[in-house]
Structure 1
Amino acid sequence: MRMKTSDEALAQAASGGDAEAFGLLIRRHYDRLFRLCWRLCGHRADAEDLCHDILAALPAKLRGFRGDAAFTTWLYRVALNANTDRARKAQRRRVARDGWGEDFQRRAAEAEETREAQDWLTTAMRSLPPELRETVALTLGEDLTQAETAQVLGLSEGTIAWRMSEVKRHLKEMATEEAK
């Protein structure tokens, strides 16, 4: 019976402490959430960590779910915010480690070089500005329409269309540079 219950109704029940409703929401949306995290992070381990962080915080965050938008729209926003917070923390750690000596910096640089050795598309995604990366992750990665992406990001469809043209221009420039 609960399998036919809407996401919004399950979210309301889960926000009240219904563990079964929470479990069903997670089962319904875990794969979608993980895909988005992977596209935002570019690395499986980072995506797993981000997804875990989101799921750990989700019971408390559900108390703020008002049902104004579809649950999936709300969940995408939660994921995008968590990714932004994670990036800020990583930046603070990078700034802090700069004073830790050459050996630590050398190892950090080697680790970064290893990460950058991924395939061309992952590199291209990571080189996009965050707002373009979020847009392409939702539009192409999650197969949302431009209207749905606009709703998730709280923007107009025209802005989403412009962002997608910027992504195409950016990728074309990268391909041209690589060809030289």
Structure 2
Amino acid sequence: MLLERHYDGIFRLAYRFVGTRADAEDVAQDICVALADRLGSFRSEARFSTWLYRIVVNACRDWARRRAAGQRVLANFADVDALRRGADADRASQLDWVWKTLGCLSDDIRETAVLVLAQQLSHAEVAAVLGVKESTVSWRMHELRKRLKQMADEER
């Protein structure tokens, strides 16, 4: 019943981190297989979804470590070609810039950005998922905005 209720969320978050449907399905499947064993580690101190997000984030980190040397976690963050076919050229260009820019950021800032912006989690929820202070999440988002502005200014 837990898998039926949470599989889509597991897959979506994994997809946002690994960037391809096939890899996201592999990560989600690994999580589902391991979830039964990990249920014993759930403490009701946090919401179940927060605990589950942490498992997904850690599984994605493990997946990234297994990838070949030199590849970045989000090198294939999204299928830009599919977006280009469905969106106008200007929108695709903007999205392409965002994906490339995210690839230039540190893993910590990129993970935080995905959870805050794509998953729309609060700073407190992201802090719980990543195991950092809420002020750290706020600082990372500030750094993200600052770096994006700097990169945009440099391209003008």
Task: Give the TM-score category using the shorter length.
Answer: 0.7 to 0.9
Map of 1:154 onto structure 2:
131
2:100 maps to 1:123: yes
The residue identity in structure 2 corresponding to 1:82 is A
Shift of 1:174: 3.3
Tell me the residue number matched to 1:86.
63
Verify the 8 A CA contact 1:42 1:126 in the aligned structure 2. Answer: no
Listed as ranges, the gaps of 5+ residues in structure 1 are 1-23, 96-107
Separation (CA, whole Å) in 2 of partners of 1:149 and 1:157:
8
**C-alpha separation between the residues in 2 aligned to 1:170 and 1:42?**
22
Deviates more, 1:122-131 or 1:30-39: 122-131
Aligned residues: 137
Aligned-partner Cα distance in 2 for 1:27–1:51? 12
CA distance in 1, matches of 2:103, 2:33: 25
Structure 1 124/38 Cα, relative in aligned 2: closer, same or farther at 3 Å? Answer: farther
The offset of 1:120, in angstroms, is 3.0
1:39 is matched with: 16
Structure with max Cα Rg: 1
In the superposition, relative to structure 1, how do residues 120 and 53 fare at CA in structure 2: closer, same or farther (>3 Å)? farther
In structure 1, C-alpha distance between the alignment counterparts of 2:154 and 2:16, rounded to whole Å: 23
- Supply the distance in 2 between the matched residues of 1:45 and 1:125 (Cα, whole angstroms): 21
CA drift of 1:178 comes to 4.1
* Distance in 2 separating the partners of 1:88 and 1:45: 17
Residue 60 (structure 1) aligns with: 37
Is 2:145 aligned against 1:168? yes
CA–CA distance in 2 between the matches of 1:123 and 1:26? 33
Query: RMSD across aligned C-alpha pairs, in angstroms?
Result: 2.5
Per the alignment, do residues 159 and 36 of structure 1 end up closer, same or farther by CA in structure 2, a change over 3 Å counting? Answer: same
**Rounded Cα–Cα distance in structure 2 between residues aligned with 1:158 and 1:127:** 23
CA shift in 2, pair 1:124/1:35, >3 Å: farther
1-structure distance, mates of 2:23, 2:153: 30
TM-score normalised by structure 1 residue count? 0.65
Give the 3 Å change call, closer, same or farther, for CA 177–44 of structure 1 in structure 2: farther
Q: Find the counterpart in structure 2 of residue 138 from structure 1.
A: 115
Alignment of 1:14-53 (within 5 A): 24-53=1-30
Q: Aligned in 2, Cα 1:138/1:57: closer, same or farther, shift over 3 Å?
A: same
**Structure 1 residues 160, 33: closer, same or farther in 2, change over 3 A?**
same
Does 2:39 align with 1:71? Answer: no
